[in-house]
Structure formats: C-alpha cells, structure tokens
Chain A
C-alpha cells in the first residue's frame, strides 16, 4: 500500500517518524552534525562545545494531571540538552495561539513555564508569538529551542553505547502518556494517573560528575522505552537485552495500559532517562541516581550485547524471549 500523505503514524515517534526524518528530512539538509540524529546537535564554537536542540509541543489536552503544555515544553528541551550531556543555558519560546484562547489559560501556561525554567536553572531569553484564526491551530502550540554547554571530557551519544554496558532506567514507564490519554475527552473513566514531566538536567549533572564517561543518555519520550532502545541499538550497532521483570511500571498505569491495550514499553515518558554506562561504574551512577529525587527507582534493566546487533530482545519472567521492536503504528497522537 503506498503511503502518499502524512498520517498520524509519521508523528508517533516510532518507525514511520524515523523513516520520515531519516529518509526525507535529514538527506535534504545533510551535514555531519545533523546526521548523528541524537536528541540535539553538538558542535564547537571557539573551542566551547555546545548542544542545540528544538522541540514542539502540541499536547491535547493542554492541562493534565502533573503539568501542562508549558512546563512540558520547558522540560522537553531542557532534557534534550541534558541527554547530549550538556548543561542547559538558554531557551527560546515560540507560541502559536488559536484565536479565542482564554487569556487566563495562557497566563497559567506561561507561569508554569517560568516555574519550570527556574527549577531547571535556565533562562528564556528570546521568543515569538503568533495568533492564527480559529480552527487554524488547536488552542495552543509551543516551540522551545535551547542551547547548552558541554563540559570537557564528556561525550554522550547513542553511537557510544558499547557491548557490555549495563542499561539504567531512571524510574517507572508510561506515566506521562497514560496520564494524558486518560484525560482525553471521550475516555469515560477517571483515574489518578499523574504525568512525570520534570527536568532531568540536575540529576544528569550529578551522574556526569561521578562518571564523566557515561556513553549514552536518552529520554524515552514519544515511542517509549521500546522505541528509544531500538534507536540506540541501531545507532551503535549493538544488541540489547532487557528483562521484563525489572521494568518498573506503576500498578495503576499497568492496569490502564492493559485495559486499553497499550504496551507500557511504547508509551511516552517526560521525566525519565535511559543511561548506558561503563560496566565498572554502574554502581556509582546508580547510587547517585537513587539519591536524587528524579531517580529514586533507578534500576538496571538490561545490557548491551554482541548478539543480534540492531535488535532489542526481552527475557520474559517465565524465561522465554521475544523481540521488542520499534513502535510501528500510531500509539498515541498528540501526547507531547
């Protein structure tokens, strides 16, 4: 079947998103910085190494338990920079507002952006606002871009994940995606799920302080832990083996996932990270993470292996094995 229009699958964070970017966007702008396809671009200016990243937020609904589109937009870009091993410095802010959007809501969103920026220690230093006619956008879309500085000796990239690296996940999966989904109009049940949206740069800084040689950091947002691990396996040409009984999922989240037929491995997170670290330093990193509020439940969920390069394989609790593929279809549109 020929796919000749953009469908929501292209925005899922899974295979089609990947194909769209790697097949259509990246080749056109081809350059060595872009082609690494990490969470942000890394380059040197006058000897200083900088990370530069951008992200656009279209989450629906705008307000959800645990946050709103505003703090999500700050945390998203802050985290993308942190995943490059950078200390986030400055952010820009672009607003696309639909005509008729309540002023009070805008103020609330902006206030939480301010709070999130303060919490992450970044400044919003430039911005732009556009208002479009009713129907030309849905309520409010936000773009944030940011730059950060990378310390000497730090070199974090998906390409550096190496055979033998233990893989750490900083906490429970699927909190954000399921919290947003259960708020959507039309979902006829109430739950008390809360998004995990949070900035991770503080914890990353401490992690890099104990282990500057961390190989890979990624925040498993759209497409979830499953898709992110696949991206890393492909970029680093390694195999990945994870253990299902080590994957943390909150009970309530697991329940809703099961009810609605979602696999937590593919549901978005907004305040979690995956780290590939040198084997001899895993304990130090793990302890640092666990002593930080964002990483209390950090756990080693698997390791990089030489078998099945490019593939993620999971061992199930009963001892069976199966592939964890990249998300193929649309799991949840407009989740971030």
Chain B
C-alpha cells in the first residue's frame, strides 16, 4: 500500500540480495524476531523471505492481524448484530468468514441478512444515507491505522446529521499489546519488527516507553522485502553487538511524532479502555471506545449489546500463535480440520492470519 513513487527502490531484488548476504554474515547466535504487523507477515511469506534468511533467524508473527486478535465474544456480537433485521452491517471483507460460536457473518448473509463488504467507511456512510429506514452499523476492527478513518466517519455522520449510522468499535492499540506480550510468561522474543502503517499514525516515539522499559531491539519497517530485510539486518546487528536500539528503518513514511491530525481525530472520538484480545486476555488501556459525547453513534448503546464471554474454538491454538509461542504446524487441526475453506480459528481466515500464511505460502 505504498503509493510512494520511490517504492520501486524498495523492491530492488539486487539490493535485497545484498542485504541478505549481510544478514548471513552477521547472524551468529539464534535469534527470535517478531513481526508485529499482519501486513509484514504476508509480505514475508509472499516474498519467500523465510526461505532466504539464515537458520539462526526465526521470524515469528505477532498480534498484528486485526481479525485474529478480535476476541471471540466480539465476533459473536457482530453476528448477533447481523441477525437484527433492522440492521445493515457494513464490514471489511476479512471479517465475513470468521467463525463465531455458532454462525458467521457469511452464513448470516447466505441466509438473507444484509451484510455489505465495504472498502472504506465512506462506503458505509453512503449506505446509511441511501437507506434511511435501516440502521447501518460499521464493524470497527483494527489498530491505529484504521481507527482514525472510523473516527472521521463518526464526525462526518455527526456533521451530516445522519441518525442511522453507528460503529461497533473493537479497535485496539498496538503498544499496550507489546507491553503485555513482554510481560507474558513463556514469551521469548529477541527483537521486534515494528509495524509501518500504525507507526505512520502514532509515530516512532510511541514505542520509546516500551524500549526504555525492556531494552529490546526494535526496528520500524516498511512493507517491501527490502524494508523488512533491512529491519532484520539492523536487529541482527544490534543483538550481535549487544547494543539494543529503537531504530526507524521506515523514515520515508514514519516521523517521530506521527500524524498529529489523525491522532487528534482519534482522540476526539475515542477514549482508551481495557480490552480483551484473543490469546492475550484483557489488556489495560488497549482498546478504543467511543466517547460518551458520541454515544448515539455507539452501536453498544444503540443496541444495548452485551458482548458475551465466549471461549475460543476447541483445539484452536491461535492464542499461542499470536504470542509467538507456537507455530501453526504445531496445531493438531492445522491443514486437516482447519483449512482456509473451513477455518476453525481466525488465524486461518484472515488474509493476514499466520495460519493462513503458513497454509497458503509455506512450502513444507
């Protein structure tokens, strides 16, 4: 999603090969690096980086796939909402196939419920404008990347005087999750490849407290193979030299302070709250709830939803995978009972899910 005219440099295969050679040269001790963002996971698999880095470098996928970290209860709430005949659910496509406890948005749609896949919140606002007799609810998932546009849609709805638009916010913040991850027993990570899109919004400095507290090497990275390899090289060098760094390897897009406009919009509409993450449990201040001033756009109020506390699907180890503790092939259901066609857990459904990536791209 670069749209960046010089992005082609970052796809230069020769440059990639040179960086790879350097990684092979520096990396001596086995290291475990976590790419936090689902888009990184996909880029790593799709470019075959895993088949190219030395054996000493393990790449783990973290809690950065929005669909995957969405709690089972929230998925069930989405389905509940879709079952309401007065509601049109507007959602990004990825959510549609995620299995809830006993249905999914896809099944609801197949049995006649009005569920629309949209590509932006503008589309959702448009639907609301065109169908005043129905309540349109946008399912807000994702991190600080999508949260500002969802916040902006609420402001726009407010300005337009739209009475039939609401958001069910399950938005999450990345940094609190990284704190939680570092504090989770059994988690063993030597360095983070930090997300690009999120960081464009929140800025590189947002990770400073994390770095100061844990002294863990961190590299912010873009999404092209060269970007990711550069981050791996930086981290390998830091770890080998014993001098941790918080490095911004995506300087062409990420500033220290982020995007103040987007942050302001987000802050105007959302406030932080404790939120449940799949695999990580409740993390303090990690969720974004709609502020009371905008309560009429909050689907939780409009429909007095109560989000059930449902356990994850039986046998699914998505939680361990999101913590980087296990890999998909260690799941007994992987590739047998759980495939992209009939997924058991969200990590197999989402186009950014780790299980889907292993299943689709990894040559065993």
Interface residues of A, Cβ cutoff 8 Å to B: 1, 3, 5-9, 15-16, 19, 186-188, 245, 255, 258-261, 308, 313, 315-323, 325, 328-330
| Chain B min CB distance to A315 (Å) | 8
- Please tell me which one of the listed residues B13, B99, B107, B362 contacts residue A322 in the complex, with CB atoms under 8 A apart: B362
The reply to whether A328 and B340 contact each other, CB–CB distance below 8 Å, is: yes
Q: Which residues 279-299 in B have Cβ within 8 Å of A in the complex?
A: none
Interface of A is mostly: loop
List the B residue with the shortest CB-CB distance to A16.
Answer: B341
Q: Chain B residues near A255 (CB, 8 Å)?
A: 3
* B204 contacts the other chain (CB 8 A): no
The reply to whether A323 and B339 contact each other, CB–CB distance below 8 Å, is: no
The answer to whether residues A319 and B107 also contact, given A187-B123, A188-B122 and a CB cut-off of 8 A, is: no
Complex Cα spacing A5 to B49, Å:
39
Indicate the size class of the contact surface on chain B: 35 or more
Given contacts A1-B343, A187-B123, 15 further A-B contacts (CB under 8 A): A6-B110, A7-B106, A9-B106, A15-B341, A245-B13, A255-B3, A258-B2, A260-B119, A316-B225, A318-B20, A322-B361, A322-B362, A323-B361, A325-B360, A330-B97
List the B residue with the shortest CB-CB distance to A18.
Answer: B341
Q: Chain A residues near B339 (CB, 8 Å)?
A: 328
10 example contacts (A-B, Cβ-Cβ < 8 A) are as follows A8-B110, A9-B97, A258-B1, A316-B48, A319-B52, A320-B48, A323-B362, A328-B339, A329-B341, A329-B349
The reply to whether B17 and A319 contact each other, CB–CB distance below 8 Å, is: yes
| Chain A min CB distance to B325 (Å) | 24
Q: Chain B residues near A316 (CB, 8 Å)?
A: 46-48, 225
The reply to whether A188 and B120 contact each other, CB–CB distance below 8 Å, is: yes
Complex Cα spacing A187 to B93, Å:
13
Interface of B is mostly: helix
Number of A-B contacts (CB under 8 A): 109
The reply to whether A322 and B341 contact each other, CB–CB distance below 8 Å, is: no
List the B residue with the shortest CB-CB distance to A333.
Answer: B117
Which one of B2, B119, B229, B343 has the greatest number of beta carbons of chain A within 10 Å?
B119
List the A residue with the shortest CB-CB distance to B11.
Answer: A317
| Chain B min CB distance to A70 (Å) | 27
Complex Cα spacing A75 to B255, Å:
51
The answer to whether residues A329 and B340 also contact, given A5-B110, A261-B351 and a CB cut-off of 8 A, is: yes
* B45 contacts the other chain (CB 8 A): yes
Q: Chain B residues near A188 (CB, 8 Å)?
A: 119-120, 122-123, 126
The reply to whether A313 and B363 contact each other, CB–CB distance below 8 Å, is: yes
| Chain A min CB distance to B278 (Å) | 17
Q: Chain B residues near A320 (CB, 8 Å)?
A: 47-52
* B104 contacts the other chain (CB 8 A): yes
List the B residue with the shortest CB-CB distance to A187.
Answer: B119
| Chain B min CB distance to A309 (Å) | 13
